Amino acid sequence: MASVTLSAVSKIYHGGVEAVRGVSFEVPDGSFCVLVGPSGCGKSTLLRMIAGLETITGGTVRIGERVVNDIEPADRDIAMVFQNYALYPHMSVYDNMAYGLRNRGTPKAEIEARVAEAARILAIEPFLDRRPRQLSGGQRQRVAMGRAIVRKPQVFLFDEPLSNLDAKLRVQMRVEIKRLQRSLGVTSVYVTHDQVEAMTLSDVLVVMNAGQVEQIGRPIDLYRKPATRFVAGFLGSPAMNFLPGTVVDARTVSIGGGTLRVAPGTGTAGPGTTVEVGIRPEDLRIAAPGEGLRVAVEFIEELGATQLVHGRLGDAPLTIQVATGEAPSGDAFEIAASPEALHLFDPATTARL
Amino acid sequence: MVERKGALARILPHLVLLTGVAIVAFPVYLALIGATHESSVIANGQMPLTPGGAALDSYYRAIVIGPSRTTREPVGTMLLNSFTMAMLIAVGKIAISLLSAFAVVYFRFPFRKAAFWMIFITLMLPVEVRIYPTYKVAADLGLLDTMAGLTLPLIASATATLLFRQFFMTVPDELVEASKIDGAGPMKFFFDTLLPLSRTNMAALFVILFIYGWNQYLWPLLITTRDDMQTIVIGIKKMIVTSDAITEWQIVMATAVLAMLPPVLIVIVMQKLFVRGLVETEK
């Protein structure tokens, strides 16, 4: 096993497009790192640079102690799971898994043992003689993972492996990937644009935007203390509400005619400064008339266990998540939030205050 | 009324098709019948529509002896020449096109675009157009009356290169990347992945190119003068034109029938793959 260390890695394509700019972070040995961000943020490019499928324009990538910048993908001791699985259509499931080992000159008995072991772990033993096209999406996904497992690599790389599956299967495979990674203990780097996958799978979460790292940390820390407005808006579903506010004093902000208390320790600014106030929909609650901020109801979405109330506070759109049955019946109501739930951001730099 | 109309509407297309089949099949039938009669029958101006009794003799003389007064070579040799030529052309064209399409699609080399367009432009220059310079080059290289001279100039193929290029471009990039990670170099990827995936395309192309090679007339006519290098298409032509003897029509007919057989066999044998290669879209 090995750690993966990126130092000031950048990628500039022919024509000057900067896909990745000066990214540095370390994935500790045996941990599960998820790169998440909107499409075009450079997360896939970064993964492909670790894999060796893209050349590295600047900086170094290390796997363990070894700088791998100029090492061929096959010699980097990695395995990759692709979005469309990239199984060889003309080979049986067995051959798909064995191909890489054969190319390395692994003894035949060893190949058989490893494929059998992987097939057992992934429960694809009955399909070993089939062709990929005779398998369902979930089974193909397993074969792709099997191909990665049999190589016993230092690092697993996943490039949006679940995005071709239907919603139910995606949840199931997500759990399986996590379980598998835990039991094998192989360092993994996983790219996704799905923030639920990102939150649930990662030990280390890297949020990327426009070729740069926005924040790195434990997923729960990123959720609780997003460093930028981007991270705040990206993690969490439904997304965080952002309301324009003005600082009244160190413990109070005014929003849309009312005021909300800010928890001690929350960064704030001098009185009169305009700030962006972020509040998660699940942190808002309905207040008694006269006690909170007035919200005009637009419509209500039923999610079964909860309801999403979409409304407006002044001009700003707002979403509130409440338990089913708690949604107000009128066309306006008042909301409140606990002081700890408020995140203040500088509107100019978008950084957390 | 409606039913009668329906019946007519059903019969009419069949009548049209049957007429078409008859038009195509009748000359073939005539050739089959002609080969079964004595030489004197057709020479006398008759063209019987029922089989005669000389079939074995005609085919035996065509294959083993040949019409002694005209071509001097038995049809067996011609068949072998034609078969060798068509095979070399088909296999050669496929091999060259696969490799050049592989180069154009998967490698970044200087003047790649230029190379591709030059291949493309040769589409506009079939053998007939460039026949004089090609003959000159073949002659200077000492390729006259050789199998190499017969096949090489016909092997370069833009059509097949373009076809494989189109096919290779539909192969997902991730397959190349997976191969890289699996430790397969470019040629290993070519042989282990690209070739098996191109199998049906190759089969379809092989059928078309084999028939193309088999039917070559102008180029073999120019490049070969020796009798033992003759192809069957030219052989038939030579049998017909005789200035000092009676054309042995029964042998001409037998030769024509024999000339039809190999392409027909190729089509029948490769039919399944051929059709799949033409219609298959699934990767």
Distance CA A198, CA B44 (A): 92
Q: Do A268 and A297 belong together in one domain?
A: yes
Q: Which of A234, A257, A277 is the last residue of a domain?
A: A234
For A61, how many CA atoms within 13 A lie in the half-sphere containing its CB?
26
Q: Which of A188, A218, A234 is the last residue of a domain?
A: A234
Residue spans per domain, chain B: 2-63, 75-279
B121 falls in which pLDDT band (50, 70, 90)?
Answer: confident
Q: Do A53 and A202 belong together in one domain?
A: yes
Run of H or E residues at A286: strand A284-287
Contact A90 B180 (CB under 8 A): no
Q: Do A223 and A283 belong together in one domain?
A: no
Respond yes or no on whether ipTM tops 0.90. Answer: no
Distance CA A140, CA A89 (A): 11
B283 falls in which pLDDT band (50, 70, 90)?
Answer: very low
Can you read off the two tokens belonging to residue A347?
A: 């509107």
Interface test with B, best of A55, A85, A90 (most B CBs within 10 A): A90
Q: Which of A83-97, A155-169, B67-81, B95-109 has the lowest mean pLDDT?
A: B67-81
Contact criterion met (CB below 8 Å) for B245 and B69: yes
Distance CA A155, CA A190 (A): 11
CATH for A284 = 2.40.50.140
Give yes or no for A133 touching B (CB within 8 A).
Answer: yes
In 3-state terms chain B splits into helix, strand, coil percentages (rounded to 5) of 75, 0, 25
List of residues 6+ apart from B196 with CB closer than 8 A: A90
Contact A83 B174 (CB under 8 A): yes
Contact B181 A99 (CB under 8 A): no
Structural domain of A267 = 241-345
Radius of gyration of chain B (CA): 24
B146 CB burial (10 A radius; 0-12, 13-18, 19+)? middle
Contact B174 A72 (CB under 8 A): no
Q: For chain A, what percent of residues have pLDDT higher than 90?
A: 56
The partner residue sitting opposite B175, judged by closest CB among A88, A100, A103, is A88
What average pLDDT is seen over chain B? 85
Measuring CA to CA, how many Å separate A137 from each of A97, A141, A169? 17, 6, 9
Q: Which of A208, A234, A260 is the last residue of a domain?
A: A234
The partner residue sitting opposite B180, judged by closest CB among A74, A83, A99, is A74
Distance CA B205, CA B97 (A): 11
Q: Do A204 and A248 belong together in one domain?
A: no
What does residue A123 show for φ and ψ, rounded to 5 degrees?
Answer: 55, 45
Q: Do A247 and A206 belong together in one domain?
A: no
Q: Is residue A350 part of a domain?
A: no
Give yes or no for B192 touching A (CB within 8 A).
Answer: yes
Per-residue pLDDT reduced to its tens digit, A21-59: 999 999 999 999 999 999 889 999 999 999 999 999 999
Q: Do A89 and A17 belong together in one domain?
A: yes
Distance CA A89, CA B283 (A): 7
**Whole-number pLDDT of residue B70:** 56
Per-residue pLDDT reduced to its tens digit, A166-204: 888 889 889 989 999 999 999 999 999 998 899 999 999
In chain B, residues with a C-beta closer than 8 Å to the C-beta of A72 are 180
User: Cα A59 from chain centroid?
Assistant: 24
**Whole-number pLDDT of residue B282:** 47
Q: Is residue A352 part of a domain?
A: no
Contact criterion met (CB below 8 Å) for A322 and A283: no
Q: Please, what's the b/e burial string for A312-330 (b: 16 or more CB within 10 A of its CB; e: otherwise)? A: ebeebebbbbbeeeebbee
**Backbone torsion region of residue B8, taken as left when φ is above 0, otherwise alpha when ψ lies between -120 and 50, otherwise beta:** alpha
What does residue A279 show for φ and ψ, rounded to 5 degrees?
Answer: -135, 130
Contact criterion met (CB below 8 Å) for A79 and A147: yes
Per-residue pLDDT reduced to its tens digit, A274-332: 899 999 999 988 888 877 888 889 989 988 889 999 999 888 899 999 888 887 778 88
CB atoms under 10 Å from CB of A13, counted, come to 11
Interface test with A, best of B106, B182, B188 (most A CBs within 10 A): B182
Q: Is residue A8 part of a domain?
A: yes
B242 falls in which pLDDT band (50, 70, 90)?
Answer: low
Amino acid at B134: T
Pick the CATH number of B75-279 from 1.10.1240.10, 1.10.3720.10, 1.10.40.50, 1.10.10.10: 1.10.3720.10
Q: Is residue A353 part of a domain?
A: no
Nearest CA in chain A to B184: A103
What average pLDDT is seen over chain A? 90
Distance CA B253, CA B237 (A): 12
Per-residue pLDDT reduced to its tens digit, B170-210: 999 999 999 999 999 899 999 999 999 998 889 889 999 99
Q: For chain B, what percent of residues have pLDDT higher than 70?
A: 92
Distance CA B250, CA B258 (A): 12
Q: Is residue A137 part of a domain?
A: yes
**Does the pLDDT of residue B24 top 80, yes or no?**
yes
Q: Do A31 and A175 belong together in one domain?
A: yes
**Whole-number pLDDT of residue A50:** 94
Q: Do A40 and A161 belong together in one domain?
A: yes
Distance CA A155, CA A293 (A): 51
Distance CA A7, CA A341 (A): 35
**Does the pLDDT of residue B71 top 90, yes or no?**
no
Residue with tokens 């469309």: A84
The structural domain count of chain A equals 2
Residue ranges of alpha helices (H) inside A70-149 are 93-103, 108-122, 137-149
In chain A, residues with a C-beta closer than 8 Å to the C-beta of B191 are none
Distance CA B165, CA B116 (A): 10
Measuring CA to CA, how many Å separate A167 from each of A36, A237, A302, B41, B261? 19, 16, 19, 80, 57
